[in-house]
């Protein structure tokens, strides 16, 4: 990830007229996300799943309030379920249990977004775009707690049931605050919707399971 960010920083170039830069801003950004699954095989007992993201990017500004923004991000996606069930022991005695299950999927993401500044001061913007993600690490977990005794059992497993790549679209909106002549505080809300199945094991499901991510980002933008 650091190599990609350094490469972006090295790509700062000056146009042939020597007055405007091809890369108008460099940004560092991060924040919390809410991540879960959607699709035909989406679990019914999903609850809020708090994750995170961080990374950096660059922007190229056009004269007509349009801007192209490219980001390299490290993202934690996945899902979380919370439900209760009754199990029977070897003596056929019932017991009530609470299950917390989910997945943790760590991605490197390339995100491209075309943004339009709505107001004349160019503080408020909205945009559309897409992303492609490469899976770096995946794991599933199960926490089982007895509601009768309070005893807890935890299972954690690394597995390879997930595809190496995720592809989707995104929509974003944000507000920028000028701190200094070349320093801007950027706050943004981004919704990302996966378009491809992330599970590569047909024995587990014959439908579809895709990622959905809602992130709140706070970043600093630097004008070179």
By the 10 Å C-beta count (0-12 exposed, 13-18 middle, 19+ buried), 100 is classed as middle
For the cut 50, the answer to whether the pLDDT of residue 16 exceeds it is: no
| CA 42 to each of CA 46, 79, 160, 202, 207: distance values in angstroms, whole numbers, following the listed order | 8, 10, 19, 15, 9
Banded model confidence at residue 110, pLDDT cuts 50, 70, 90: very high
Q: Is this prediction's pTM over 0.85?
A: no
Question: What's the rounded Cα separation, in Å, for the pair 164 and 201?
Answer: 12
Q: What percentage of the chain exceeds 70 in pLDDT?
A: 88
Banded model confidence at residue 43, pLDDT cuts 50, 70, 90: confident
With tokens 């070349």, the residue in question is 182
- Specify the pLDDT at position 44: 81
What residues contact 141, with CB distance under 8 A and at least 6 apart? 101, 102, 103, 104, 154, 155, 156, 157
Average pLDDT in the 149-171 region? Answer: 87
161's tokens: 């049931």
Give the domain CATH number at 82. Answer: 2.40.160
For the cut 80, the answer to whether the pLDDT of residue 9 exceeds it is: no
Nearest one of 167, 189, 170, 186 to 178, comparing CA atoms: 186
Average pLDDT in the 79-83 region? Answer: 91
Contact 167, 131 (CB under 8 A): yes
Banded model confidence at residue 14, pLDDT cuts 50, 70, 90: very low
Contact 220, 193 (CB under 8 A): no
Domain count of the chain?
1
Q: Which residue range forms the structural domain that includes residue 11?
A: 2-222
By the 10 Å C-beta count (0-12 exposed, 13-18 middle, 19+ buried), 64 is classed as exposed
Reduced to 3 states (helix: H, G, I; strand: E, B; else coil), residue 175 is strand
Nearest one of 160, 171, 89, 87 to 128, comparing CA atoms: 171
């Amino acid at each position: 990830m650091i190599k990609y960010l350094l490469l972006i920083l090295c790509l700062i170039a000056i146009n042939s007229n020597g007055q405007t830069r091809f890369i108008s801003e460099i940004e560092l950004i991060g924040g919390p996300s809410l991540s879960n699954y959607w699709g035909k095989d989406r679990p019914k007992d999903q609850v809020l799943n708090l994750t995170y993201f961080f990374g950096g990017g660059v922007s190229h500004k056009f004269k007509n309030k349009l801007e192209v923004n490219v980001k390299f991000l490290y993202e934690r996606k996945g899902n979380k379920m919370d439900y209760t069930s009754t199990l029977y022991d070897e003596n056929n005695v019932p017991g009530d249990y609470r299950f917390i299950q989910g997945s943790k999927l760590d991605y490197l993401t390339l995100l491209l977004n075309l943004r339009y500044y709505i107001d004349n001061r160019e503080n408020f913007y909205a945009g559309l775009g897409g992303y492609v993600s490469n899976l770096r690490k995946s794991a599933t977990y199960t926490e089982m707690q007895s509601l009768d005794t309070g005893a807890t059992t935890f299972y954690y497993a690394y597995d390879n049931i997930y595809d190496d790549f995720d592809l989707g679209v995104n929509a974003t909106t944000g507000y920028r605050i000028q701190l200094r002549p070349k320093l801007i505080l950027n706050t943004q809300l981004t919704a990302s919707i996966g378009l491809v199945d992330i599970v590569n094991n047909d024995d587990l499901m014959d439908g579809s399971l895709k990622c959905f991510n809602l992130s709140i980002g706070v970043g600093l933008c630097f004008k070179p």
